[in-house]
Amino acid sequence: MQEEKKGLSWLRLILLQIVIGCTLIGIFAYLFRIGVDEVRIIPREPNGRDMFDGVPMRMNITYPGVGTISIEDPKELIAWKESFARLLNTGRQENRANASRMLLSGSIAYLDQEDISFQIGTSGFLFGSDSVNSLEVSAEIRKLQNMLIDKTLTADTVGTAIENAEHEVFRLENGILTPLSASERASLTMQMRTSVRLIDFSHFNFTEEPPSSHFVVQLAGEEKNRKHWLHIDRYDNAYFVVFDLLDETNHKAYFKLREAS
pLDDT at 30: 57
Residue 16 pLDDT > 70:
no
From its phi and psi, is residue 26 left (phi > 0), alpha (psi between -120 and 50) or beta? alpha
SS3 170: strand
CA 63 to chain centre: 11
Phi, psi (deg, nearest 5) at residue 96: -125, 130
Q: Report helix angle 74-90 to 138-152, nearest 10.
A: 160
Q: What is the mean pLDDT of the chain?
A: 81
Burial of 152 (C-beta count, 10 Å sphere; 0-12/13-18/19+)? buried
Q: In whole angstroms, what is the distance from residue 71 CA to residue 78 CA?
A: 11
pLDDT at 164: 95
Residue 37 pLDDT > 50:
no
pTM confidence score:
0.75
Say how many Å lie between the first and final Cα of the chain, rounded: 123
Question: pLDDT digit string (tens) for 71-122?
Answer: 999 999 999 999 999 998 887 766 555 567 889 999 999 887 889 999 998 8
Report the percentage of the chain scoring pLDDT > 70: 74
Domains of the chain by residue range = 49-152, 155-256
The answer to whether the CB of 211 falls within 8 A of the CB of 235 is yes
- The fold for domain 155-256 equals Dna Ligase; domain 1 (3.30.1490)
Amino acid at 3: E
Residue 53 pLDDT > 80:
no
pLDDT at 58: 95
- The fold for domain 49-152 equals Immunoglobulin-like (2.60.40)
